[in-house]
Amino acid sequence: MNKNKNLKLLAAKIRLDILEMLMHRGYGHLGGSMSVCELFAVLYGKHLNVDPKNPGKEDRDMVVLSKGHAGPAWYSALAEMGYFPKEVLLTLNDGGTILPSHPDRNLTPGVDATTGSLGQGTSIAAGIATGQKYKGKNAYTYMIVGDGELNEGQCWEAFMYIAQNKLNNCIVIIDDNKRQLDGYTKDIMNPFDLKVKMESFGFKTLRVDGGDVDAIDEAITELKKVKDQAVCIVLDTIKGQGIKYFEDLFSNHSVKFNNDEINAASEKAVKELKAFIAKEEAK
């Protein structure tokens, strides 16, 4: 099995984990978690310099999930990489769990930044990347920010800072899934062309298919070669990505598994994902 197939397989496992944990919980942030499955597969399956057996190792790369409501996607990736047993995923949002609704660096192995208040993760990532540069560390910070989150002015202040200081070690990744909590981004606060906007802020910017692990891999590889400029990837994604029923469900930001139609669609998706995973693992 080649590496690209491994990444597609990992993305499918992350997507299955998300669906199963949210079904077990009975509700949760599905849409924005599903749209970053391929991204997390590429990060943890290929690019991150991390060690699940030593989460706090020196010179590790760091991930800052500024769109903290997509925590289930991150938890799934961490579990698949062995940071903690997969059974723990089913404790999502339970009392005393190590997997709260939004990431907490004091609770979850592999989580280096507590996020959830939208916009704040951008500043945290900028600060971490500054520290890495100052200490001469050969490490990257991957900032994952949502398109709806860009309504927050703090994001743009952080981007100006990153560009001014040419923090090429802070890879800004915008999940452009075109929807936010209560509608389409273009209707609520139109972001216009995010690639053009980030370029105007001083970033070397690539726009890629966020459902294509090859395209994401190639974009990260290309931007790591940039030496004297801030860098950004705009992921062209679909909220609820990878499961047609949820892609088409308008209210897919936070889903409640409380009716026969949603439950039937979810069970069908679980079956299809398990079949795909079994088929790929048998090759």
- Tell me the torsion sign for CA atoms 165, 116, 245, 279: positive
Could you list the residue range(s) of the whole structural domain that residue 128 is in? Answer: 3-282
CB-CB contact of 207 with 166 (8 Å) = no
- The model's pLDDT over 16-30, given as tens digits with 9 standing for 90+, comes to 999 999 999 999 999
The CATH number of residue 225's host domain is 3.40.50.970
pTM of this prediction? 0.97
Please choose, from the candidates 62, 129, 120, 75, the residue with its C-alpha nearest in 3D space to the C-alpha of residue 102: 75
How long, in residues, is the chain?
283
CA atoms of 270 and 237, how far apart (whole Å): 21
CA atoms of 170 and 200, how far apart (whole Å): 17
Number of domains in the chain: 1
Determine what percent of the chain is predicted with pLDDT higher than 70: 99
Determine what percent of the chain is predicted with pLDDT higher than 90: 97
- Is the pLDDT at 3 greater than 70, yes or no? no
Contact residues for 141 (Cβ-Cβ < 8 A; gap 6+): 61, 62, 63, 64, 125, 128, 129, 132, 169, 170, 171
CA atoms of 212 and 214, how far apart (whole Å): 5
